Structure 1
Amino acid sequence: MHKTRIFGQSHWIQGVTQCQEILRQCEPTMSKENSKAIFNLKKCKYLGKIIKEQRAPPWPTAPMSELPPKELADALVDIYLRTFECRYRVLHVPTFRRAYEALWTTEERDAEFVIQLKLVMAIGAVIYDENFSLRTSSIRWIYEAQTWAAEPDFKARLTIDFVQTNILLLLAREIIGVSGGLIWISMGELLRTAVYIGLHRDPSCLPKTSTFDSEMRRRLWNTIIEMALNTSLESGGPPLLSLHDFDTHPPGNFDDEDILAEDPTPKPDGIFTQMTIPLAFRKMFEARLAIATPLNGIGPHSSYEEVLRLDTDLRASYKNICRILQNYHSDTGHGPSPFQTQTLDFLMRRYLLALHIPFFQSSFGDTTYAFSRKVVIDTALQIWCTTNPSSGMMITRRGAQTPSEKDDLYRLTICGSGVFRLTSIQCCFLIAAELTNQLRDEDNLGSVPLRRDLLTILEDSKEWGWKCLVAGETNTKGYLMLSLMNTQIQGLMARTLDDEFPVLFMHAAEEALAKCLALFEGRVGEGDEVQMELDGINNMDFESLFGSKGGWNFMVSEPFDHSADSMYWPGNWIA
C-alpha cells in the first residue's frame, strides 16, 4: 500500500478518490456543444483570481499606524483573546492589554506593537461576523506585517517580541488564507529562530531569570512545537522535530497574573487556569508526534499492529484529559470555553482520522481493516458535528454559552481557511465514499439500509459549501464536488443506470456553477476588460480550454495515481 512517496499526505489523498471518480464519469459527455458547466468553471476561476487581486494591496505594503475605531478594535481583540490565545499562548494578556489601552492615548506608537495588534485584529476578524466583512482589511494587515518582517535587519529581530509577532503572522496567514498552504515552510524558519535564541533549552539550564521570563519562554516554545506538528500533518511534510531536540519543560499551570509575582507556585491540575488547555494539548503531544512522523516520512507506513497501538495511546491520553476537564464548569467562570473544548476534541479526532485513512479504501474489500473503516466514518461524523453545532446530531456540553461563543468554531470553518475548513470537507468526501460503497455493494432487490446521520451530513454539506462562497471563498471546486457527490448518492439510491450518471453529473455541475458565476460576477462588478476575458473563454476551442490531455485534468494539480502517493495538494479544491 503506497510504497513510493515523494511527500506525505496519504491521509489526504484517499479522501478525494471519490471526486476523481466522479470527474472521470463526466468525461464522455464533455464537448463544447453540450455543456455550459465547463466554460462556467473556467469563468469562475478567472473571476476568483480577479476578486483575490482586488482584495490584495500592492507589495510591499508599508506598515501604517492608522487603526480602526476603538469600538471595533476592542471587539476584534476580545475575539482573539477568547479563542486563539486560549489555544496557542503567544501574549501575556495583562501586559498586552495595558499596552493596548495606552496606544489610544499617545501619538507616538511603537511600530512592532502596532503590527502585533493588527495581526491580533486580523485573526479576530475571521470570527467577527458570518460573512467576514473585514477580509480586505485583514489581508492588508497581514501584508503590512509581512513587509515589516521581511526587512533585512536580522540580528535585531532575534528577540522574544519578534518570535511573538512571527507566530501571530503565521496564524493569520493560515486562518485567512494568505499563502496559507505554505505555512509549513515558514514554520521551519520560525522553529530555527526559536532554537537560535535558546527557547529549546529549559530556562533552568540557562542563567537565572525571573519567573515571568522563564514562563514566557516555555509558553512560546510550547506554542511553536504545537504549530510545527500541526502544520506537518496539514501539509504532509515531516515534523522535522523529535523529543530529543529540546529539553524545555511544559509551562506551569499559571494564570497570567500569577507569573508577575516574585516566586509563584503553579496551581494543581485540578484548578483551571489560562494554561489548562494548552497543557492538555501538550500531554497529547508525544502520542500525536508518533502518528505524524511515520505518516509523513519517506519510510514505510507503520504496520497495522502499530497503528492500533498508536490509536490506543492517543485515546488513553485524551480520555484522561477529558476526565479532568469534565470537573470544570464554564458557567462559573472556572472552566474551558466552548471554543477550547471543541478545538481540543477536533484536534484529537483529526489525528485519529489521519492514522486510519491509509487503510480506509482497503477496508471495503478486506475485513482485516474493518476497525479503521469504523473509526474513519465515526470520526468524520463527530468532526462534522463539532464544527457544525446546528446539525443537531450531537449532545452539547454543559454550561451557559453566549450566541457568539457557540458560533466561534462554526464561523471559523465558514469564513476561515486552513485545517478546520479542509478537514470538514475531507470528512464529507469520506462519508460520500462510505455511502457510495454501501449502495454499490448491495446485492439485494429490496431497500438499501443507509445511516440517516451520514445522509444528513452529505445533504447539509452542499449548503455549507455555499455559505463558504458567500463568506468570500473564491474557489468553486469544493462546492462543485459537494454538489456532484450529492447527485451521485441520490442517483444510486434511485438505482440510476451507470450510463445515465454522466448526464446527471453535467446537469448538476451546470446548476452549481451558474450559481457560483452569478455570485462572482456580482462581486467583480462590470468592466470592459473583465467582459472581454469572459467572452474570450466562451469562444475558446475545446483543446485550448482543456489542454492536450483533455478531460477534467485542469481541476486538480496532478492526476491521481492509485499505485503511489501523488503530489496532489488537497487545499487546491477549496482554497
Structure 2
Amino acid sequence: MLAQTPQPADQDRVFTSSTDGTWHSSSFGSVLLSQISTPGTVFPLAMTETSTRRPAPEPLYPAEKSPTICSLTELTSLPTIMIVKSRYISPSHWLYSVMLMLPALKWLDKEMVKQEECWQGLIHCKSLGECLRTRRILANSPGQYGSYILDRAVSAALLQNYLRSFEQIYRINHVPTLQRELETFLQDRASVNHECIVRLQLCFALGALTYDDLFSLRPYALQWIYEAQSWLTNAEKSQPSISGIQIMCLLQLAQQTTESLYGDRISALSGNLLRSAICIGLHRDPIGLPRMLPFQIEIRRRLWTTVLELVLEASIESGQPVLISSEDFDCSLPSNLNDDQLHCESTVRPIPKNPSLHTDSSLQIALGQSLTLRLTIAKLWNKVKQEANYATVLQLSPQLTATRQILTNTLKNLGKNTSLLTCHMCEMVLMRYVFALHLPYMLLPDSVFSHSRRECIDAALHLTYRTMPVSDTNESLSELIQQANDEDYCPEFGRLIVCGSGSLRSAQHIAISVIAADLNTMISERGKIATGSALRVVEERWLLKAGVAWARRRIEAGQENVKDYVFFAIVLAAAEAVLKGKPVEDEMTERCKEAIADAKTLLSDMTGGTTFEPASAVQNAECENYLEDIGAFWASDLPSLDWGGFMPMPHS
C-alpha cells in the first residue's frame, strides 16, 4: 500500500541542509553530518555522549581530533557526504542505509579496532572469498571469442531467460534478429562474426542469473563479460555505431548485475556509454535527423531510452552526479510496437498499437514516462552544491507516488501478457527512487520528517514481501502473508534478488535496513506505543529473519563477501536481545561469531577449504594496506585506493 500524500501544512515547512558540518570517522569510512535549519530554528549537528549542541563547525578537524561514529547516540542532522575507501558518495548510495542501524555499526566498529576473534574470522572469510574468486577464472586467450558456449538446450534457455526479463525493460536488441543470430551460430559457429558472438554471450550472462537458484553458471557469465570487455577494447579504434552501443548497454547491465564491476566503475562506464550514444546522435529524435528507415527510428529511440535508464541507475547506485539533464535531449519514447512489426529494409511505417495493448515495448514506455521525474530526484542529492530542502522532498513525493500508481495501473491493464517477473522488476526500479528521495530524512528522529519514514517503511514492506518466500516464515505468519497478498511469490524474481547484484541487491538491502530500523524504534519505545503495535513487531522481526536468510542464500549462490549476512545477523541479535531482556552487546558478539562460522563453512565447501595465502593472512592484516581492505567491510564493492589523499592531515 502506498503511503499517503503529505498534508498541505507539512509542505509549508522548509528545511535546508548546508555543507557546513562535522566529519565523523570509523573503521569503515567517514560521514559528514550537515546542519539542518529552518527560519528561526537550527538543529544541533548531532547528539553525542559528551554534548548536545555544537558551536559553528570548525573549518577542518585534524585527523586525530575528528569525532567518531562511536560518539553518536542518535542522528539529528543529515548525513550528506561519505568518504569510503577514498570514494566520495552521496546519499542515494545504499551505504547510507547502514546509518539506520547505528548501534550495530558502532559495535562492529569497535570489533574492527580490537582485532579479536570476530575480526580474524572476517579475515579468514575474505581469504576464502579471494580463493573462490580466483577459481572462477576460466582459461582464455585474448582475441578468442565463443570458446565457452554451452550446448544448444542451455544456450536457448539462457536466451529465453534474458528475453523474459531484462530485454522487456531495457530494450536493446531486435528480438527476431537476435534469435536468428543464435540459430545461425549454433549451426555453424564459423559463419558468425565476433560482434554477434559477444552480443549473444552477454545475453547468456544475463540469462544465467535466473537459470538456477545457485547461479551455477557464474564462471561462464564472468568469462563472457571478460570477452566482451576485450572486444570493446579492440573495437575502440573504430567509430561508434548502433551495434557498438548495444553491446555497451548489455555489458554495463551484465557487469552490474553479476558483480563483475562495482559502483563507481559502473558510473564511469555509464559516462562512456552516454558520450558514445551522444556521439552518434541518439539523444536527438530521429524525426529531426536525416531521413532513415522506420526500423532505424525505433531502434534508436529504444536504445536511447535504455541508455538513460542505465545512466540513471548508475548514478543512484554509485552516489555520483547524473551527467545529463532533460534539457540535453529531445529523443521521444519508442512507439508501442512489437518487434515483428519492424523489418530492417521496409520503408513502410508500422502503425503503433493502442497504449492499452501489450507490445514488446510496453514496459519500456511505461517506465520511460517517469524519466524526467527520476532525473530530478537523482540530481537532488547527487550534486556538489546541495540545496536539499524538505519542501522540495515533499513536493516530489506525491509526484513519485502518483507515478508509481500509474505504473501499477498500467501493468494491470496490460493483462496476462505481462509476467509477474517483469512487473516486480518495474516496480523495483521506482522503489529505488523512493529510498533515494526519502532515506536521508528517515535517519532523523524529528516528527517533522515522519512522512519520509512512512514512505520508506511502506516501500520496504512492499518490496520485502515481493522477494521473501512464504516458507521463510513460521506457519501462522505464513497464513497471514498469503491472505494479505493478492499475488503469488515469483521464483524467478526471487532468484534475481539472491543471485543478482547492483540495484537487485541494494534495493533489498535498503528495504531490510529500513524494516530493522523501524523494528528497533518500536521495541525501544515499548510501553509508550499502542498494544496493537505488538503484531507489527512480530511481523518485522520475521521479515528481518528473512533478510538474514536472504543474505545467507547469496553466499550459497556464490557471493564471496559475507558482509550482508554478518551485519544483518548482528542487527537481528540486537533486536532480539532487547525483546528478551538480554545484554545486547553479548548477544551481538555471540551471533556475529555464529554467522562468521557459518559463512566460513559455506565458503569452505565451495573452495575445498583452501584459502588465499593462509599462512600469512592474519600477520599481513597488521600492514596498513591489508587493514585498508578489512576496513572495507562495507566498501568491498569499491576498488582499493589509498585513504591518504582524503583524510584530514594534522596541523603542522
- Asked if residue 54 in structure 1 is aligned to residue 135 in structure 2, the reply is yes
Equivalent residues of 1:57, 1:140 under 8 A apart: yes
Residue 522 (structure 2) aligned to one of 397, 420, 438: 438
Decide whether the 8 Å contact of 1:26 with 1:503 is kept in 2. no
- Between structures 1 and 2, the one with greater strand share: 2
The alpha-carbon distance between structure 1 residues 301 and 379, as it changes in their structure 2 partners (threshold 3 A), is farther
Q: Does 1:534 align with 2:625?
A: no
2:413 aligned counterpart, secondary structure: coil
Match of 1:73 among 131, 155, 158: 155
Following TM superposition, by how much is the alpha carbon of 1:454 offset from its aligned partner in structure 2, in angstroms? 1.4
1:99 alignment counterpart: 181
1:377 to 433, 457, 474: 457
Whether the aligned pair in 2 keeps the contact of 1:284 and 1:318 (CA below 8 Å) is no
Partner Cα separation in structure 1 for residue 197 and residue 570 of structure 2: 46
The whole-number CA distance in structure 2 between the counterparts of 1:8 and 1:360 is 15
In structure 2, do the counterparts of structure 1 residues 44 and 86 end up closer, same or farther at CA, with 3 Å as the change threshold?
A: same
1:412 maps to: 496
Question: Shift of residue 439 of structure 1?
Answer: 2.0
- 1:563 aligns with none
Shift in Å at residue 386 of structure 1?
2.0
The residue number in structure 1 matching 2:119 is 38
Deviates more, 1:81-90 or 1:346-355: 346-355
Structure 2 gap segments, 5+ residues each = 1-16, 18-32, 35-79, 82-87, 473-477, 637-644, 647-652
Paired with 2:389 and 2:502, the residues of 1 have a C-alpha distance of 30
- Work out the CA distance in 2 between the residues paired with 1:28 and 1:162: 49
The alignment's C-alpha RMSD in Å is 2.9
Secondary structure at the residue paired with 1:104?
helix
SS at match of 1:348: helix
Residue-by-residue CA offset, 1:359-418 (whole Å, 9 max, x unaligned): 1121x2x111111111111111111112235365376566xx8x9xx3121101111111
2:540: which partner in 1?
Answer: 454
- 1:554 shift after superposition: 5.5
Secondary structure in structure 2 of the residue aligned to 1:523? helix
Distance 1:464 1:133 in 2: 17
Contact 1:26/1:505, CA 8 A, preserved across alignment:
no
2:353 is aligned with 1:275: no
Question: Are 2:93 and 2:316, in contact at CA under 8 Å, matched by a contact in 1?
Answer: no
Return the letter of the residue paired with 1:53: T
Matching residue within 386, 391, 400 for 1:314: 400
Alignment check: 8 A CA contact 2:111 2:119 kept: no
How far does residue 537 in structure 1 lie from its aligned partner after superposition?
Answer: 4.1
2: CA distance between counterparts of 1:240 and 1:548? 34
Greater CA deviation, 377-386 or 83-92?
377-386
Bigger helix share: 1
- In the TM superposition, what is the alpha-carbon distance from 1:536 to its structure 2 partner? 3.7
How many residue pairs align between the two structures? 539
**Taking structure 2 as the reference length, what is the TM-score of the superposition?**
0.77
Matched with 2:294 is 211
> Which residue in 2 is equivalent to 1:367?
447
Name which of 126, 130, 152 aligns with 2:209.
Answer: 126
Question: How far is 1:9 from its partner?
Answer: 2.7
Instruction: Give the distance between the partners of 2:166 and 2:258, measured in 1 at CA.
Output: 13
1:551-566 matches, within 5 Å, as: 553=631, 555-557=633-635
* 2:509 aligned partner: 425
Alpha-carbon distance change, 517 to 99 in structure 1, aligned in 2, over 3 angstroms: same
1:242/1:60 CA distance change after superposition, 3 Å? farther
* Distance across 1 between alignment mates of 2:183 and 2:468: 35
- Aligned equivalents of 2:100 and 2:378: distance in 1? 24
The residue number in structure 1 matching 2:372 is 286
Answer yes or no: is the 8 Å Cα contact 1:89–1:223 preserved in 2: yes
| Aligned equivalents of 1:270, 1:237: Cα separation in 2 | 36
**2:89–2:318 contact (8 Å) kept in structure 1:** no
Q: Does the aligned pair in 1 maintain the 2:245–2:277 contact within 8 Å? A: yes
Distance 1:189 1:88 in 2: 18
Q: Distance in 1 between matches of 2:590 and 2:135?
A: 32
- Secondary structure at the aligned position of 1:298 is classed as coil
The answer as to whether partners of 1:22 and 1:484 remain within 8 angstroms in 2 is yes
Contact 2:94/2:509 (8 A) holds in 1? no
Aligned pair 1:84/2:166, yes or no? Answer: yes
**1:22 Cα shift?**
1.7
Q: Can you give the 5+ residue segments of structure 1 that lack an aligned partner in the other structure?
A: 559-566, 569-575
The corresponding residue for 1:519 is 602
Structure 1 residues 152 and 442, CA, compared in 2 at 3 Å: closer, same or farther?
Answer: same
Return closer, same or farther for 1:200/1:16 CA change in 2, 3 Å cut-off: same
User: 2: distance between equivalents of 1:10 and 1:347?
Assistant: 14
Q: Rate the CA distance shift 1:368–1:555 in 2: closer, same or farther, 3 A.
A: same
Q: Aligned residues: percent identity?
A: 28
Residue of structure 1 equivalent to 2:553:
467
| C-alpha displacement of 1:298 | 1.4
Shift of 1:232: 0.8
Shifted more, 15-24 versus 503-512: the winner is: 15-24
For residues 280 and 54 of structure 1, the distance between their equivalents in structure 2, rounded to whole angstroms, comes to 42
Work out the CA distance in 2 between the residues paired with 1:20 and 1:42. Answer: 23
Q: Deviations along 1:94-146, whole A, 9 cap, x unmatched? A: 11111221222223221110111111101101110001110111111111111
Map 1:200-239; keep pairs closer than 5 Å. Answer: 200-239=283-322
What is the TM-score normalised by the length of structure 1? 0.87
> How far apart in 1 are the matches of 2:277 and 2:136?
33
Shift of 1:62: 3.3
Higher relative contact order (CA closer than 8 Å, sequence separation 6+): 1
Q: What aligned pairs does 1:122-201 form with structure 2 within 5 A after superposition?
A: 122-151=205-234, 153-156=236-239, 158-181=240-263, 182-201=265-284
Displacement of 1:42 in angstroms is 0.7
- The amino acid that maps onto 1:131 is L
Q: What amino acid is the match of 1:206? A: L
1:544 aligns with 2:630: no
Q: 1:184 to 1:62 in 2, by over 3 A?
A: same
Equivalents in 1 of 2:414, 2:114: separation in Å? 62
Question: Could you tell me which amino acid in structure 2 is paired with residue 379 of structure 1?
Answer: A
1:336 equivalent among 408, 418, 428: 418
